[in-house]
Amino acid sequence: MSHEPIALRQALASFDALWSPRIVTRVNDYDVRVAKVEGEHVWHVHEHTDEFFLVVDGELRIALREPVGERTVTLPTGSVFTVPRGTEHRPSSASGASILMFEPTGTLTVGDRADRYGGELPDHVDATTGHPLVAP
C-alpha cells in the first residue's frame, strides 16, 4: 500500500473493468476499494459485516431484502449508505457509477454464500476479494 496521497479520480481512471474493485488502501483490518459499476450485480449477503458505499460519480441503486419486505435506496453522487450485515442486497447502476467501499480485508464481492450460484455467476461480475491498484 502506498503511503502517499491517492487521487480517487486517477485511481478510477487506471482501470476499465466493471464490478471488479481495486484496493486503494487499508485502514486497520479494512480494505478501501474503488469500483466502476454498470448494470446489475447479483443478490448476495455478508453475514458478519456491514458494507459501506460512497458514490464518487453517477448514481447507484441498492435493492434490499429486509424482514419487512424489499425496498431500493437510490444514491446520487456524494451519497453514502451502509448495508447492515445479514441483509441480502443487489447493487445496480443503469447508466454507470464509480463507488468507494469499506469492507473487512478478504471479503468476497459476491458475499458469504458464493456457492449458491453453482459457479454460474454472470460474466460481468468478478468474484474477488479485491485487486491491487496499479499505481496511476
- The string of pLDDT tens digits covering residues 78-118 is 999 999 999 999 999 999 999 999 999 999 888 876 555 45
Q: Which domain holds residue 20?
A: 8-122
- C-alpha span between 47 and 65 (Å, rounded): 13
**Total count of domains within the chain:** 1
Q: Is residue 51 part of a domain?
A: yes
pTM: 0.89
Residue 130 belongs to some domain of the structure: no
Give a yes or no: residue 127 inside a domain: no
C-beta separation of 83 from 50 below 8 A: yes
Cell numbers describing residue 118: 453453482
The enclosing domain of 82 has a CATH number of: 2.60.120.10
In a domain, 2, yes or no: no
Within a domain: 79: yes
The pLDDT tens digits of the residues spanning 20-69 come to: 999 999 999 999 999 999 999 999 999 999 999 999 999 999 999 999 99
Residue 34 placed within a domain: yes
Residue 13 belongs to some domain of the structure: yes
The reply to whether 80 falls in a domain is: yes
